[in-house]
A and B are shown apart, each in its own frame.
Chain A
Amino acid sequence: MRRRFVGMVSGLTVMLFCGSALAAGTIKIGGLFAVTGPASFLGDPGKKTFELLVKKANENGGINGMKLEAVIYDTGGDATKAVQLATKLIKDDKVSVILGPTTTGESMAVIPVAEREKIPMISCGAGVKITEPAKHCVFKTPANDHVAVEKILGYMAGKKQKTIALLTVTDGFGASGREQLKLLAKQKGFTILADEVYGPKDTDMTAQLTKIRSIKPDAIICWGTNPGPAVITRNVKQLGIKTPLYMSHGVASKEYIRLAGAAAAEGIILPTGKLAIYNFLSKSDPQAKLLKEYVQQYYEAYHEEASTFGGYAYDAFQLISNAIKTGGGTPEQIRTGIEHASKLVSVSGIFTMSPKDHNGLDLSAFEMVRITNGEWALAR
């Protein structure tokens, strides 16, 4: 009897030791980034941020005593390659979770793989389709377009601006923005007077703007990424249009002000993530400290300015490490941990996930800013 008891105890102890040995082991996190190719401006800062965070976490003794191991592949922005590499991460490298891919197209292609293998993935793609409807294992960190649209419309309502002219780019980003703008404007009682578009490579939009000028809307909303919006900003100045011009969060970088010129960009209003304006935030803002640290750490490591795009990878890493801290390191534990993230402060905003919401950001992710003397200033 006694012997048996001793046996059991020693057996348990061994098991416990094994358990802690497992716990003190390593957790593999796969990273899929478009480091090269057309989306490299999105993927490269993401990869750098991920590497930086893994290094910092390991220097601080890992998470719950567990070391992290990053396995990173470059997808080149190619959906087919992304699927192959995701399969490789899961089957060969046996990762517990995948951070990435970078773009919406790649993410949509990788989703079936992650779902089938029950490996959680956190996409850095912006497309609404990635998490709507919510899938078991799929999360994403960039805020949905409709959050930015709502932010702009909310601001306009406060200014009693009721009629809108749209000027959107004919690519995925512009088409999604246009769709959301039309939908939400209708819901919120705005009238769309003009619905103009331009090509991503167009170099002169005075024709569209002349038409808009003759219609006299209360506001113009332009949805696109550089360089189109910069051309539009200059064209508006040239035509002497005084109507307030709103831009999307797609141009929330200093690059846009530089291209359009500070004089032409004066008075432009747009929603931006808080990273762009971290030094204007009040001390009491829950994100202020984290953003400042991120910018400093990133600059020290790479001598480059941290960007919103790197921030998406930061968010994903934050969600993963939080999940490991609270739950554990198996894929299912991490998945559940991410889904239960609540008021998790990060770069893009404050994440509160639920089984129905696998993005977890709300209107507080954006601030409305006005460009004043070539700088951002909070718009009131």
Chain B
Amino acid sequence: MGKGRGESLLVETGYSMQFSQILQYLLSGLSIGAIYALIGVGFSIIYNATGIINFAQGEFVMLGGMLTLFFLEMLKFPLWLAIPCAIAASTAAGILFERLAIRPLRRPTPINLVILTIGGSILIRGLAMLVWGKDTHAIPSFSGDEPISIGGATILPQHLWILGVTLLMVSVNKFYFNRTISGKAMRACAYNRRAASLVGIDVRRMVMLSFAISSAMGAVAGIIVAPLTMVAYDVGGMLGLKGFCAAIVGGMSSGIPTVMGGLILGVLESMGAGLISSGYKDAIAFIVLLLLLFLRPQGLFGKPESERV
């Protein structure tokens, strides 16, 4: 009965309402998708350099947010200082994780490494809970909370930050991997580790660097999303999983395909919740992932056996 009235109202208000509604779903989806993309790129960078799926990736997202809060509230830093400090501290945590957990492993089989990263993620989450408690915390927006209206849909200034920073991060990444010596060295490791080490590339240094870059990217994602979604010790799990989906859709590429994967996932979720049913929102995203794994295991955009970086 209720539904009937809702539909008739929709007809009355006509197409403009429909359009602004869909635009809203699209914008909401893109901004959430951008976060998935950043996390997904973090996954692929480590995967390409080491062959490890780093399931602790989500925890660095949490660390970014929680550390920003720590520098803001405990040490009373201004926001512009708290953010770089939080990124630096998360990066340090990423390097430490690689040094203390990944590198000492005697027999680094994939299964051992995967279990290790899962263990690491539980450890990091537990430590965060002990240090900062279980409460959810809010972080102030970078530039106000006044909504911006675009063709009947509204977004917040923070959404623009998210889209802008994601674009910046992806371009810097692209530049790094294509134009710099260490970026090229890392790509070489991805093609063939033994060959890379034979031509004098320090593979272990590259592995550490990949952890540093991806934890920094995770932290950035956590920081820019925190003013919208708030942060608690346990936000890493779900975000990490969605980021992983983005990377799978993108065929574990650390460039544009993973970014597209993240955006597609975000938009699908948002459209699914708005147009189909909010109860199946996550299911829709994960069904797409499953279908993709069955039909195109090399990723939505990849050719079989293509280059990965």
Contact = CB atoms under 8 A, between A and B. Distances in A.
Interface of A: 40-41, 163, 170, 191-199, 201-204, 206-208, 210-211, 213-216, 226-227, 230-231, 234, 237-240, 255, 258-261, 263-264
Contacts of A191: 1-2, 5
A119 B153 CA distance: 60
Given A193-B2, A201-B235, A238-B156, A207 B278 contact: yes
Interface in B137-157: 137-138, 145, 147, 149, 154-156
A260 B137 CA distance: 10
Contacts of A170: 279
| Range of interface residues on B (Cβ < 8 Å) | 35 or more
B263 to A, nearest CB: 14
Interface in B193-231: 225, 228-230
B138 A207 contact: no
Given A191-B1, A204-B28, A210 B274 contact: yes
Interface of B: 1-3, 5-6, 9-10, 13, 17, 21, 24-25, 28-29, 31-32, 134-138, 145, 147, 149, 154-156, 225, 228-230, 232, 234-235, 237-239, 269-271, 273-274, 278-279, 281-282
B230 A231 contact: yes
Given A201-B238, A210-B25, A211-B21, A255 B135 contact: yes
B278 A206 contact: no
B138 A194 contact: no
Given A203-B228, A204-B229, A206-B28, A240 B6 contact: no
A182 to B, nearest CB: 11
A214 B10 contact: yes
Contacts of B9: 214-216
Contacts of B13: 214
B282 A199 contact: yes
Nearest to A259: B138
A29 B163 CA distance: 58
Contacts of B3: 193
Contact of B154 (A204, A208, A240): A240
Contacts of A203: 32, 225, 228-230, 235, 239
Contacts of B149: 240
A288 B278 CA distance: 42
Q: Which 8 A-B pairs have the closest CB atoms?
A: A203-B229, A207-B273, A207-B274, A227-B136, A215-B6, A206-B28, A193-B2, A210-B24
A237 B11 CA distance: 26
A237 B228 CA distance: 12
Contact of A237 (B2, B17, B145, B278): B145
B274 A208 contact: yes
20 contacts: A194-B2, A197-B279, A201-B237, A203-B225, A203-B229, A204-B31, A207-B25, A207-B269, A210-B24, A210-B274, A213-B21, A214-B9, A230-B138, A231-B230, A234-B145, A234-B228, A237-B145, A238-B154, A258-B138, A261-B138
A170 to B, nearest CB: 7
Contacts of A163: 2, 5
B7 to A, nearest CB: 9
A210 B25 CA distance: 8
Contacts of B136: 226-227, 230, 255, 259
Contact of B17 (A199, A214, A258): A214
A28 to B, nearest CB: 32
Contacts of B138: 230, 258-261
Given A40-B134, A202-B281, A203-B230, 4 more contacts: A204-B228, A207-B274, A214-B10, A227-B136
B278 A198 contact: yes
Contacts of A208: 273-274, 278
Contacts of B274: 207-208, 210-211
Given A170-B279, A240-B147, A255-B135, A207 B154 contact: no
A196 B232 contact: no
A185 B5 CA distance: 17
Residue of A210, A216, A234, A260 contacting most chain B CB atoms (<10 Å): A210
A94 to B, nearest CB: 35
B232 A227 contact: yes
A229 B147 CA distance: 19
A90 B29 CA distance: 55
B276 to A, nearest CB: 10
Contacts of B10: 214-215
Nearest to B266: A204
Given A194-B6, A201-B235, A214-B13, A207 B156 contact: no
Contacts of B17: 214
Nearest to B3: A193
Contacts of A263: 145
Contacts of B282: 199
Residue picked from B9, B13, B32, B273, most chain A C-beta under 10 Å: B273
Contact of A239 (B154, B229, B238): B154
Contacts of B281: 198-199, 202, 207
Contacts of A40: 134
Contacts of A202: 281
B2 A192 contact: yes
Contacts of A210: 21, 24-25, 28, 274
A261 B145 contact: yes
Of the listed residues A202, A213, A263, the one surrounded by the most CB atoms of chain B closer than 10 A to its CB is A202
